[in-house]
Structure 1
Amino acid sequence: MDKYQLIEERELLDIHSKGLLYRHGKSGAQVAFLLNKDENRTFSIAFKTPPLDDTGLPHILEHSVLCGSRKYPVKDPFVELAKGSLNTFLNAMTYPDKTVYPVASCNQQDLRNLADVYMDAVLHPNIYANDKILAQEGWHHELDSEEGEVTYKGVVYNEMKGAFSSPEQVLFRKIQQSLFPDTAYGNESGGDPDQITRLTQEDFLEYHRTYYHPSNSYIYFYGDVDVEEKLEWLDREYLQDYEAREVDAELGSQAAFEGLREIVEHYPVSEEEDGEDKTFLSLNFVAGNTLHTEEVLGMEILEHLLLDVPGAPLKQALIDAGIGSDVFGAYDDGILQPTFSIVAKDAKGSQKDAFLSIIRQVLEKVLEEGISPKKIESALNHFEFRVREADFGRSPKGVVYAIKALDSWLHGESPFLHFELDKIFGSIRKSIPEGFLYSLIRKYLLDNNHATLLVLEPDPTLLARKEEETRTLLAAYKEGLDEEEVRALVRRTRELAEYQTREERPEDVEKIPLLTRADIPLDPAPFTYQVEDHAGAQVLVHHADSNGIVYLDLAFDMGHLEARDLPYAALLTKLLGKVSTDQRHYSDLSDEVNLHTGGISLSTNVYSVVTQEPGKPCRSILALEGKAFVDKMDKLLELVEEILFRTDLSDHGRIQELLAESKSRLQSGLTSSGHTTALIRAESYVSEAAWRIEQMKGISYYEQLGGWLAAYEEQAPALQARLEETAKGLFVRKGMVAALTLEEEAQAKVEPALKAFLDRLPEKAPREGKGLDLPALLQVRNEGFKTASKVQYVAQVGDFKSHGYQYHGGLRVLQTILGLDYLWNQIRVQGGAYGAMCGFKQNGDMYMVSYRDPNLEKTLETYGRIPDYLRNLKLDDRETTKYILGTISAVDHPLTPSLEGEKALALHLSGKTMELLAKERREILSTTQGTLQGFAEWFEKAFAEPVLCVVGNETAIRKAEGLFKETKVLK
């Protein structure tokens, strides 16, 4: 087209795509295409957004532009799209240097609709006409009555209070701040809660005027799209209205330091928690430039070799010296100047000199003695397999590539720079024999003055001090107001609440583009797998376009295990493959796995079994997942057999290391994903499936890890014996399922090796357990777990099946409505939490849970009003269609080959048939207002008796102590 100039055209064979880059002449906008046959198409627009301070302006703006625009003036078009599109991805993300707005869909018209709403949102937002948007999404002073206390409220404000409660998140924010004190990267793009309240409406609008211009934009399309149509649409609807201009969005390069800088910072822990041995030591470097692709890959490989793999020299040396219970590396190449960190968690501040000394000694030793060629080759294979597989789970490939393209595009280079995989890997393989990796160690880790030592210490008084400082500040603020100003603040608080609860005008809602029910396939997409019995086991085969890869899932039945055995089974998944076998040291075992396969991992899982009968049966399994190319299947099975049957559990020192690491990482997960922690714990009071999960992944398992470690020297022999006994009872043919996901033509090559492997397994367990005494195990405990968090995670659960109700597909539609209307508006928009979720399971379990929530009792009251909300629900045909579309988008989410394999196994183990899936789909499509109103009674009965768990702020839990049967510190 004559309105665009073609800047670049490149064949990208490694990702089966063609790259095109255009510049729009009038506006200066750049538009990139990654063209291929993928029907899961992506659109994205991004802006370079340097944070100017710590007020979180880029983050708050990311939220705010999605609160209505010129063409789509509803308060929350983002939620309207989530309710009523067939999207496969819909979100926006703020990074340290960019803000990205990606959407994806398999429906062509749907992608056009999503892209149009997003383009209008970012270029023509309502923020100029409505200052309540900043108040809601960013922050505001709140005062409900003239006699009340002033508080801060805002979605991002509370989101970042939650983020700054996590020690790991504090650590990584402080690392970046320490390394870039003089550039935009030293500022907090997400927002420091102590600084967010400095943001003014004027600065907010000026930032948008400056940076949200097409000349500073990066527009991107991926998949099977029509280039001319997209370019013409962009010009006609948006870009022709703008003149190109210079936008000063430079991020700046930080000048290297003259020497190592030492910084001491603090993070909050509970007042009741012992802070001894809870310090983080982190040595951090600025390591090159993200545009140097070979160096970027080289540093990734070094981080893997030095800190990730079992027996990695830096990690092992620090652990052996007793510096930290968990040592890990972090390499961030998503910014202009990548950073490399070596972190010891649960250390002592007094160990900082030894920490530095050991790191230098180990690195010098690596340079002197070298790294074995086999280890280097295994690391290369690990990364090459990963990038060529391009399996990003439930994230569409196009979205991941959109963000990756910005690593170079944002800094003035081709958006396709990082996709020439053959060139990058070829260059690395050629340069490694010439000492390339060792030169990177010398250049960026040993002789690099651009480094910091960050000592992050626990402070049990920090949270209370911060809360008191905030109360004092707000009290002084109110004291400084005269009577009229107080009345005005009460009035603004009321007006904001009225704005948030105001009904949208029907004519505005109807401007949001909507597909029709005719766009929804009536039947679920065909999904088949074969199952046959073999020697007491079952072999499940699912065919998929897997690009020559075989995905293997071995599901060993745990139904015969007793309650006391479950934590041991969970621990086995953390040990097997990371402990030596009778053939190989664990470090050599890891090399062998990476050389020949795409990885071997173990986990536990529990599947609820579909039944119309009373009760809630489930199947618990220990799963081994492996993947390899077809010609490596024999080697994969050989390694699996070695790991399962030849692991030596007598290395008590190694097991103690892995126990400490597991406890450390589970602790991080329990607090950072507090909503999941609270929900699983609450469900475990009433559900066998959840109880089993809690014993193997939740607070109970965390406490068991702590118990093992506390008396490890005495318990080690008994622990070894129990682990060996549990393994013998698990890894047998009886009750197991071996699942293959592969291309159809590969089945005949692979299946004989798998069956021969099965023939070598023991037939059955040496002893059968007694099963679970459920009445003794399932008890409503209603616990409150106190942490150093500034926010709460509030979970409440119920059971509709015990009241005589059977699962109905309309519950999926109800989940969409509650999650994106009632809970969204009550808990997020009005309550200031970052989010809230609900769900309904085939076995009768139902739940609500909030995320980074400033409230506790108010949230539980909100849950209690759901029956009234449902009885008063009024939906016309358009609204009903919208919610059905939004529900189907989740049901029909496209899957990668590995996820297809997981789906086949889950369907088989849970007893879900295609007939049941079709029935659920028919019920979704036929859902009416009456169907939804009928669920009000379900809620009243299922939640008549409170069953709840809260994880969060100790002050808030202490104030609500009457809700709980027990409160305790999660430490």
Structure 2
Amino acid sequence: MNTPLHGFTEIRQAPLPELDATLHEMEHEQTGARLVWLERDEVNMTFGIAFPTLPKDDTGVFHILEHSVLCGSDRYPVKEPFVELLKHSMNTFLNALTFPDKTLYPISSRNPKDFLTLMRVYLDAVFHPAIYHNPAIFRQEGWRYEFDADGKPHYKGVVFNEMKGAFADADELETNALNRALFPNTPYRFVSGGDPACIPDLTYEQFLAAHRKFYAPSNALIFLDGAVDLDTVLRVLDEEYLRSFARSERTVFPPLQAPVDGGVQRIEYEVASEAEEPGRTRLGYGFVLGSYADRETLVAAGVLAQVLAGDNESPLCRAVLSRQLAKDLMLRVYDSVAQPWLQMEITDLHAENAAAAEQAVLDELRRLAEQGIDCTKLEAALARREFEMRERDFGAYTPGVGLCMQALESWLYGGRPEANLQVGALFDSLRAKMQGGYFEDLLRRIFLENPHKAKVVLTPSHTAGEARRQAEAERLTREAAAWTEADRTALQQKQQELDAWQQTPDSPEALATLPSLTLADLPAAPTDLPLETATWAGIPVLRHRVKTRGIVYVTFYLDADGLRPEQMSELGYLCQLLGHLPTRHYTAEQLNDRIRLTCGELRFYATAYAIPGETDRCHVKLCLSLSALESKLDAALDLAAEVLTTTDLSAEPAARDILRQLRMQRMQNCIMAGHNVGIGRLTAQFSAAGAAQEYLTGFAGYQWVKAQEAHWDWPALRPALQELLDAIACQARLTLAVTTDHDLAGQAAARLAAALPEGVAAPEATALAPWGARREGIAIPADIAFACCGGDFRRAGQGYTGAWQLASKLLGLEYLWNAVRVQGGAYGTGLAVRDTGLAACWSYRDPRGVQSLETYSRCADFLRQFCREGRDLTGLIIGAVSDSEPLLSPQAQGTTADTWYWQGVDYTERCRRRKALLSATPDTLLALADALETALQGGVCVVGGQPQLEACGLDHIESV
């Protein structure tokens, strides 16, 4: 682009051959807004706009702004355009993200019309938000005083409650403390998400001032990816938004923090009242690595972390585990900031062992620095990291959003936006340096000679939570004591005004300002993911022809039917052992190295699949998921077969270490993702598959692991595990799934037929009685709750159709979002509906679980009233179709097709569901109301703090 286009001038171009893309870097002449476009043949188009947001306190102002600007704008004067877009756009990604030093608003869509709509709404949100004329948004999303029936004030707010949940996590507390110690003179010392103790310090005026200063176009970094219509996009940016602003002073990042020794910080974290304090101490260490610009050092630090602590056989883990000084040690690199740093965490140790654990780690680091690091381990870690970087699987983020975040990791600080977008010769350089002592020198610089470091000691406490709640209560008492009667009346009036605003629906005129797709814009049929069935070498094969760029994805599905509940829990544990214990040809240490050299992934897990139309039988499978380069496929398959057939279960100390770590992981999942735990418990109440999954990996599985740790009996457990493995790991129980664009499935099947024993087929299915409806609670050390309620709608004679997807969308966003999130203050909520018969309401980081349960009981009535009003369903249908067509990575295309296969859902059935969804009417939904009401009168599971559980009137309460 040689001449300016719609006010934008191209500064430079850069070819990106690994992405088959050309990067165009531009600047808006009038405002100085900067823009990057990755021009490539990608139908999923991405837009993102980011601003540097540098906190100066712990009030979480930028987190609150991230929420608040999406609550209406000048052009789109609806209460929550974000929610409206969730209802009726075809987005493949729609969210906003707060980082320690930036805020990003990304969207993506495969539909050009939808893409422009999403882009316009986000641009209007960030540049012309309604926050300036509607302070209720700040009170809703940030914090406010709310008075209960007795006139007693409490703090409430979506971000306030979200961060209360975050601060229940010891990891969060540790990271915050390390940031404060490592970066005392920079914005990184503050909690960008907000400390609940400080969020009420934020005033509305300060909130607006932060937006004025940081959300200026001159600060904007705009990212585009894919086959966008550049002329139209730049015209919208310039004519509709940027040209109305003058150039202003850009936010300048402060100087990097000069090296400091942050000393030792001591903090307490809350543990459950029944948990024993001894053995729960944690040690955290932070080591600053340098600058964002030194990419080689940052990648090398990640490789070094993998070598030192990537598994239980790695040197630092062995140093503490072999002496029984701690239960785990982890290293992680934080590299998405201007000053990246490495965190070391030693978890679950007795306080009296802290000095010995630290000394053991230090001694091992010195030994490695002096004697050298095993080059085999370095080569293995380099191979794994290179595979991951070239695969570019960004998990929950679409590829375009992932590339946007990578670009910002350099571009935000003044570097080239493409600096992190390609791998190039990076690993050739690291391999060349490996033999010359580079990694030993890096080890010394990071751990032994680093002047920029800090340490945190986290002490478990039964009283920390109560002390925190007491401090909050005392603050409220002091503040209330200073109010005049006029002050109190004014605050109560604000509460009434907020309630009225929240309960007033958007006008048809306001809603009409949001452009919308029509049903004609939607595909009439769902995407048919490739699936071919065949048999090679006597092994059933599911074949998925998908472009995978030289990577092969393989899944072994091994029948594990006929197990008793305790055997299912044993199987869930066995999956954690496989790949981490010795085999016939490898020690555990050698095996870990070999896996990294050969595979991108080698993972074992167990899952249960429902049988259509049956509630008391299911299929249970042990699954092995591996990925590898085509050139390494044979070696990867041989390795997988070796693990399955020759794992040595005599390694008792290693097995016990893994069990202890598994207990902590599952306990942490209860604290941080209790809604998933609750839905799992509800599913077990009416479904054999749900009950099986509970025993395999759910809270029931956690209880089994906890009991095993308390009463360790390896002589009894080991033969049970061996019997399971011997029975399951055989050809007779194997179905192989292969995802690649080359003809490799037959080769893979033949290789496994030669490597696996023939074995005996499993019983036809697992018979397992559902538990029946329960009202139960799971106590966790937190001030918030995850409230879940639901059951089986099929028991009311209603089968699953595509209309249930629409009901889920409607109730989640038209009713629950407003009642539970907006008015109730929970961070998240929804109605989960599955083709297995589940209909369950849930809340996430909820300040009042009991109120949410009451809200759920009115779902069916809301659905009936909505349908009787005859409101237009077009937007909600569009949103439901979008939910059913997520953007899938090559690997996910294969695993999704496998899931449909095992559940008995063929393409004809998927088309039938799509047709039912597209043709749904209010009467269609009305016919579901009675079944929904029956389901929501089923079971209850609330995961939360003890006071929350006691308020819910539950029949039984367990504790983590």
Q: Name the TM-score, length of structure 1 as normaliser.
A: 0.96
- The letter of the residue matching 2:61 is L
List per-residue Cα deviations over 1:507-553 (Å, max 9, x = no partner): 11011111111110111123331112456641111100111211111
Kept in 1, the 8 Å contact 2:35–2:222? The answer is yes
**Cα offset for 1:555?**
0.4
Q: 1:218 aligns to what?
A: 221
- The letter of the residue matching 1:836 is T
Aligned partners of 1:694, 1:213: CA distance in 2, in Å? 50
Kept in 2, the 8 Å contact 1:281–1:343? The answer is yes
**Counterpart among 464, 467, 484 of residue 465 in structure 1:** 467
Using the TM superposition, name which of 472-481 and 112-121 deviates more: 472-481
**Counterpart among 425, 428, 431 of residue 429 in structure 1:** 431
Aligned partners of 1:227, 1:561: CA distance in 2, in Å? 58
Q: 1:560 aligns to what?
A: 562
Q: 1:369 aligns to what?
A: 371
**Cα offset for 1:87?**
0.1
Matched, 1:754 2:758: no
List per-residue Cα deviations over 1:759-792 (Å, max 9, x = no partner): 5433334986995451xx6243322111111100
**Structure 2 residue matching 1:684: 3-state secondary structure:** helix
Aligned partners of 2:787, 2:113: CA distance in 1, in Å? 39
Q: Decide whether aligned partners of structure 1 residues 737 and 156 sit closer, same or farther in structure 2, where only a CA change above 3 A counts.
A: same
**Cα offset for 1:88?**
0.2
**Counterpart among 704, 713, 716 of residue 714 in structure 2:** 716
**Cα offset for 1:895?**
1.2
**Structure 1 residue matching 2:198: 3-state secondary structure:** helix
CA RMSD of aligned residues (A): 1.8
Q: How does 1:695-710 map to 2 (within 5 A)?
A: 695-710=695-710
Kept in 2, the 8 Å contact 1:288–1:444? The answer is no
Q: How does 1:602-613 map to 2 (within 5 A)?
A: 602-611=604-613
Aligned partners of 1:862, 1:149: CA distance in 2, in Å? 22
Q: 2:949 aligns to what?
A: 957
**Structure 2 residue matching 1:873: 3-state secondary structure:** helix
**Cα offset for 1:822?**
0.6
Q: 1:61 aligns to what?
A: 65
Kept in 2, the 8 Å contact 1:185–1:251? The answer is no
Matched, 1:93 2:97: yes
Aligned partners of 1:19, 1:195: CA distance in 2, in Å? 42
Kept in 1, the 8 Å contact 2:637–2:751? The answer is no
Q: 2:655 aligns to what?
A: 655
Kept in 1, the 8 Å contact 2:641–2:755? The answer is no
Aligned partners of 1:681, 1:109: CA distance in 2, in Å? 42
**Counterpart among 890, 911, 920 of residue 897 in structure 1:** 890
**Cα offset for 1:188?**
0.7
**Cα offset for 1:934?**
2.2
Kept in 2, the 8 Å contact 1:561–1:769? The answer is no
Kept in 2, the 8 Å contact 1:867–1:940? The answer is yes
Aligned partners of 2:580, 2:665: CA distance in 1, in Å? 16
Kept in 2, the 8 Å contact 1:557–1:622? The answer is yes
Using the TM superposition, name which of 417-426 and 286-295 deviates more: 417-426
Matched, 1:737 2:735: yes
Kept in 2, the 8 Å contact 1:561–1:770? The answer is no
Aligned partners of 2:262, 2:185: CA distance in 1, in Å? 16
Kept in 1, the 8 Å contact 2:599–2:629? The answer is yes
**Counterpart among 419, 441, 449 of residue 417 in structure 1:** 419
Kept in 2, the 8 Å contact 1:562–1:769? The answer is no
Q: 1:811 aligns to what?
A: 804
Q: Decide whether aligned partners of structure 1 residues 737 and 265 sit closer, same or farther in structure 2, where only a CA change above 3 A counts.
A: same
Kept in 1, the 8 Å contact 2:73–2:125? The answer is yes
Q: 1:585 aligns to what?
A: 587
**Structure 1 residue matching 2:650: 3-state secondary structure:** coil
Q: 2:636 aligns to what?
A: 636
Unaligned runs of 5+ in 1: none
Q: Decide whether aligned partners of structure 1 residues 588 and 630 sit closer, same or farther in structure 2, where only a CA change above 3 A counts.
A: same
**Cα offset for 1:409?**
0.6
**Cα offset for 1:356?**
2.8
Q: 1:515 aligns to what?
A: 517
**Cα offset for 1:128?**
0.5
Percent identical among aligned pairs is 33
**Cα offset for 1:137?**
0.3
**Structure 1 residue matching 2:394: 3-state secondary structure:** coil
**Cα offset for 1:39?**
0.8
Q: Decide whether aligned partners of structure 1 residues 735 and 583 sit closer, same or farther in structure 2, where only a CA change above 3 A counts.
A: closer
Q: Decide whether aligned partners of structure 1 residues 483 and 842 sit closer, same or farther in structure 2, where only a CA change above 3 A counts.
A: same
Using the TM superposition, name which of 902-911 and 428-437 deviates more: 428-437
Matched, 1:551 2:550: no
- The letter of the residue matching 1:637 is L
**Cα offset for 1:248?**
3.3
Q: 1:312 aligns to what?
A: 314
**Counterpart among 368, 380, 383 of residue 381 in structure 1:** 383
Q: Decide whether aligned partners of structure 1 residues 548 and 697 sit closer, same or farther in structure 2, where only a CA change above 3 A counts.
A: same
Q: Decide whether aligned partners of structure 1 residues 762 and 431 sit closer, same or farther in structure 2, where only a CA change above 3 A counts.
A: closer
Q: How does 1:291-330 map to 2 (within 5 A)?
A: 291-330=293-332
**Cα offset for 1:236?**
1.1
Kept in 2, the 8 Å contact 1:670–1:677? The answer is yes
Aligned partners of 1:669, 1:16: CA distance in 2, in Å? 39
Q: Name the TM-score, length of structure 2 as normaliser.
A: 0.97
Aligned partners of 1:813, 1:753: CA distance in 2, in Å? 41
**Cα offset for 1:386?**
0.9
- The letter of the residue matching 1:589 is L
Kept in 1, the 8 Å contact 2:733–2:760? The answer is no
Q: 1:646 aligns to what?
A: 646
Aligned partners of 2:855, 2:633: CA distance in 1, in Å? 53
**Cα offset for 1:735?**
4.1
List per-residue Cα deviations over 1:411-448 (Å, max 9, x = no partner): 00111111231132233233323322122111121101
Q: How does 1:36-75 map to 2 (within 5 A)?
A: 36-75=40-79
**Cα offset for 1:870?**
1.0
Unaligned runs of 5+ in 2: none
Q: 2:139 aligns to what?
A: 135
- The letter of the residue matching 2:101 is D
**Cα offset for 1:144?**
4.8
Matched, 1:967 2:957: yes
List per-residue Cα deviations over 1:140-177 (Å, max 9, x = no partner): 011255x4211111000000000001112222222222
**Cα offset for 1:408?**
0.4
**Cα offset for 1:233?**
2.1
- The letter of the residue matching 1:848 is C
- The letter of the residue matching 1:890 is D
**Cα offset for 1:5?**
2.7
Q: 2:342 aligns to what?
A: 340
User: Matched residue pairs, number?
Assistant: 956
**Cα offset for 1:582?**
1.7
List per-residue Cα deviations over 1:348-401 (Å, max 9, x = no partner): 333332233222211111112212222111111101111111122342100011
- The letter of the residue matching 1:967 is I
Q: Decide whether aligned partners of structure 1 residues 758 and 133 sit closer, same or farther in structure 2, where only a CA change above 3 A counts.
A: same
Q: 1:531 aligns to what?
A: 533
**Structure 2 residue matching 1:694: 3-state secondary structure:** helix
Q: 1:10 aligns to what?
A: 14
Aligned partners of 1:357, 1:14: CA distance in 2, in Å? 45
Kept in 1, the 8 Å contact 2:560–2:762? The answer is no
List per-residue Cα deviations over 1:634-691 (Å, max 9, x = no partner): 1111101110011111011111111111112222122111111122122212221111
